[in-house]
Amino acid sequence: MKFFADTADVDAIRELNDLGLLDGVTTNPSLIKKSGRNILEVTKEICDIVDGPVSAEVTATDADEMIAEGRKLAKIADNIAVKVPLTLDGLKACKVLSGEGTMVNVTLCFSANQALLAAKAGATFISPFIGRLDDINVDGMDLIAEIRQIFDNYGFETQILAASIRTVNHVKDSAMIGADVITAPPAVIKSLANHPLTDKGLDAFLADIKAAGIKIL
């Protein structure tokens, strides 16, 4: 499974990348707004840090404008994935941009039928929003499983990018079902390493080392 960081925080991206835990990044105008910086400037800096796909979202809702914005975003770097919404206009833009060789991330997916349309439009990634479905008492993991089955049935190459990840269990369950990618806040990705028994075992180990006076360097 690939790990994408869902953030525009350059320092957090660099930290995860240096740890070897990062395969890509997803951004959107709301995340970049928090940085107070220019969207093109921030996106370029992120692309310079990360080798994998960096999703940059269009701001238009009309297909022709989305295509124009997507082409501009794609010029930032070779690893840009243009993010478009799952609307008919977004699907039209996806078809055109993917046909030109640009990676496209179709976002705001909440049903298997929507995912099927995105795959047929040539999407590189489809982003089902798990947490937002959970918010309305719908199990987001059921959607991941449905999309996985449909894509496997027909050999679609579109990658399932589980988004709106809120917890470490979301990550685990997505991996068990077979999502290709998860995108999550850096804090969630880092917390995957946490376990109380690991902490307890390490404390005991360090106490034994100290008592024995063991030194390697």
Residues with catalytic annotation? Answer: 83
Tokens of 96: 């055109």
Q: Give residues with Cβ within 8 angstroms of 18, minimum separation 6.
A: none
- Report the first-to-last Cα separation within the chain, whole angstroms: 37
CA torsion through residues 195, 14, 126, 158, sign: negative
3-class state of residue 107 by DSSP: strand
Rounded to 10 degrees, the C-alpha dihedral 127/130/136/137 comes to: 140
3-class state of residue 108 by DSSP: strand
